[in-house]
Chains A and B, each alone.
Chain A
C-alpha cells in the first residue's frame, strides 16, 4: 500500500473506531426522538444527557450548560449573536481579535452592519493579544469579549485565564466567550477557573464525527436562540437532536480525557521532533507562532521562502502527505491567511506557508517520512523558482 501520512488535523480528524462503534446503535436500535416519552425516546434522551455530562465534566461545567449544535460554526454564531442580541440594551460594543476563525469574523462583520461596534485586538509577531490593549478598549457599552484559546493556524495559546480575571473585575457584566475548537482535548479548559460564559467545542476536531458541536453556556447567561423552531430538549437550540452525533461526540471526549496527558505528551514530542527536524534539514524557512509551552501541542507551521504553498502541498500530496497551506493561491478568495497577515508576515512569505497539524494517531514514522519527503519537495520547487535563483546569484 502507498504510504499515507495525515497531518491536516486542525481541519478535521479521523473518527476513533470506538466512537463509530457506539454511534451505530443510535441509527438502527435507539432511533427514537429524544423528546418522545416512550422507551426508545427515553433511551435517546438519556444518551444525550450522558454525552453532555461527559463533556461538561471535562471542562468543569454542569451537564445542563451544554447545548449541542450542528458544529463549531453554529456554536460560534449562537455564542456571538445570541449574547449580542440578548444584551444589546446594555450596550453594543464587542471586542475580539484579528486572528479569530472565519466563523467568528463573518459574524462580527455582520453585527457591525447592524449597529454593533466591534474592536479587533492586535496580536504580536508570535500571535499573542495584549492584555493592556484589551483593558484600554473596555468601556461601559462593552457586552462581550470573544477570544480563541489556541489558534488553529499558528498554535498560539492566548492568556485566557488572565482575560477572564480582568473581565470578572469590571464593574459591569462583560460576557466572555472562548472558541475552544483548536484546544479542546489538547489543553486543559476549566470554565470556572477561566471565568467563561460561553465556550465553543467541535467533535470532528477530537476524533468524533462531523456535523456535531456544542456550546457551553453558563447558567443564567442571557443568550438568545438563533435558530427558531420546535423546542425538543433545549430552548437555545431547537430542532431534533443529532443523537448518533451527540453520542459519538461524548465518546470522543471520554476517550481523549481518559488518557489526556499521555496523548498530549505524545503529540508534543512529535511536534518538537518535526519542528526541529525541519529546521535542521531546510534553510531559509520561518516558523510561525511561538515555541514551547505557549504553542499548541499539535501545531507546526513554517513558511518555506521563495516557493508557494499550494505547489508544496500538492507535491506532498503526490507523496501521500496531507497538509494545508495559508497561501492565497489555495483559497477561494485569493488572499493570504489573515492570521499570518495579522502577525506581520508579508504576503510573499505567507504564500509559502505549510501547516502540519498532528493528532494522537500520528506516529514517529510519520514524522520521519515527512522529514524524508519534504526537503526533496522544497528543493525541487526552489530549483524552479526565479526568486530562489536570484537569492543564489546574490550570495
Chain B
C-alpha cells in the first residue's frame, strides 16, 4: 500500500472517537470532496460559548478518520475562540505525527472545525440582527 501509519493513528482509525450524528446540533457542515477521496461532515452542539458536543462522519482513508477523531477530542469542552485556533500541526502532533503525504487530512480536519465555528457565529449574528 506504500503508506505506513503509526500506532496512534491506527488506534484512532480502528476505534474513532465521536463518530456519528447529533440530532440537536447547532451547526452541521461539510468540508472536502468525495472526488478527491476525502470528505468530513461535522456536527457541533454549543453552550455558553463552548463546544459541548461534537460528532463527525467521514468518507476517507485511515488518516481522514484518525484526524477527525483526534480533532473532535481536542475541541470538546474548549471555547469557540480556543477551538478555532487548533492547527493542522496540533492535530498531527496529537497523532504522534502523520506521513507527510497525509498532512492534507489534518488540514481538512482543522479547516472543517474552523468552518463549523464560523458558520455557527454567522448564524448567531444573523439571529441577533433579527432581534
Contacts and interface: CB of A to CB of B under 8 A. Distances in A.
Interface in B1-52: 1-3, 10, 13-14, 16, 19, 21, 30, 34-41
A267 interface: no
Contact of A308 (B10, B14, B38, B40): B38
A384 B57 CA distance: 5
Interface string B89-106: 000000000000100000
* Residue in A306, A314, A331, A347 with the greatest tally of chain B CB atoms within 10 Å: A314
B59 A307 contact: yes
B129 to A, nearest CB: 30
A330 B61 contact: yes
* Residue in B3, B14, B34, B38 with the greatest tally of chain A CB atoms within 10 Å: B34
Contact of A329 (B10, B21, B38, B41): B38
Interface string A302-340: 000011101101110010000011011111101010000
B57 A389 contact: yes
B80 interface: no
A386 B40 contact: yes
A384 B16 contact: yes
Interface residues of B, number: 28
Interface residues of A, number: 29
A385 interface: yes
Contact of B14 (A318, A325, A328, A329): A318
A379 to B, nearest CB: 13
B58 A386 contact: yes
A348 interface: yes
Contacts of B57: 384-386, 389
A387 B34 contact: yes
A311 B60 contact: yes
Interface string A366-395: 000000000000000001111101000000
Contacts of B61: 308, 310-311, 327, 329-330
A387 B59 contact: yes
Interface in B51-93: 57-65
Interface of A: 306-308, 310-311, 313-315, 318, 324-325, 327-332, 334, 336, 346-348, 351, 383-387, 389
Top 5 nearest A-B pairs by Cβ distance? A329-B61, A386-B41, A348-B34, A310-B61, A386-B57
